[in-house]
Chain A
Amino acid sequence: GAVVSQHPSRVICKSGTSVKIECRSLDFQATTMFWYRQFPKQSLMLMATSNEGSKATYEQGVEKDKFLINHASLTLSTLTVTSAHPEDSSFYICSARGSGRNTGELFFGEGSRLTVL
């Protein structure tokens, strides 16, 4: 089946630094990828929709200048948390869906746990 790989799985950084998280679809082309954030005991919150070759669409309340998304190819999307602060510490998960809007199943990456000191 489809596999989505996310890297790194865990990152600890100092406040003020930037962190890049990669999301790759390994055996299918993902025209659309989604980035979620999950705080403990809360649901996944969609941050943005990443479309290959175009600008990402951000959800209300998500700062596009802070969470930079690049989807330069059909198999790779990146999320960069710029000038990270402790409140950005969270579990970030990407998901990917191939072409066609009828499918509802998303394939999730393994997630990246970010801790900002």
Chain B
Amino acid sequence: RKEVEQDPGPFNVPEGATVAFNCTYSNSASQSFFWYRQDCRKEPKLLMSVYSSGNEDGRFTAQLNRASQYISLLIRDSKLSDSATYLCVVNRWDDYKLSFGAGTTVTVRA
């Protein structure tokens, strides 16, 4: 089983729509969680960290469910510029290595 699994999508949504997707992780000892955004053929960039209590950054909301071992990302009022691949990233505390999901592709259409 992969350490981090994501629905690859693609999620094709119209502008203004809300889109949400999850990521599951297998290691219950995981301590830190992040969403990165990767545009085609570019390097990943941090979108937001995911905190236990859930957190929001503008149109983006991240949630963590430790009991079920998943994190989620919700994008409200989608913009064309939100089209990208969103990578779920999990940090193990014992060796602080990051494990990446394969990414969820979101395409926002006009």
Contacts and interface: CB of A to CB of B under 8 A. Distances in A.
Contact of A110 (B43, B49, B96, B97): B43
A113 B46 contact: no
Contacts of A109: 43
B96 to A, nearest CB: 5
Contacts of B91: 104
A104 B41 contact: no
A101 B96 contact: yes
B43 A49 contact: no
Given A43-B87, A104-B34, A105-B34, A93 B43 contact: yes
B102 A113 contact: no
A108 B43 contact: yes
A106 B47 CA distance: 12
Contacts of B72: none
A41 B85 CA distance: 10
B42 A111 contact: yes
B58 to A, nearest CB: 18
User: Which residue among B46, B96, B102 has the maximum number of chain A CB atoms within 10 Å of its CB?
Assistant: B96
23 contacts: A36-B100, A42-B102, A43-B102, A44-B44, A44-B87, A44-B100, A45-B100, A46-B97, A91-B41, A93-B44, A101-B96, A104-B32, A104-B34, A104-B91, A104-B98, A105-B34, A105-B46, A105-B49, A106-B46, A106-B98, A108-B45, A110-B43, A111-B43
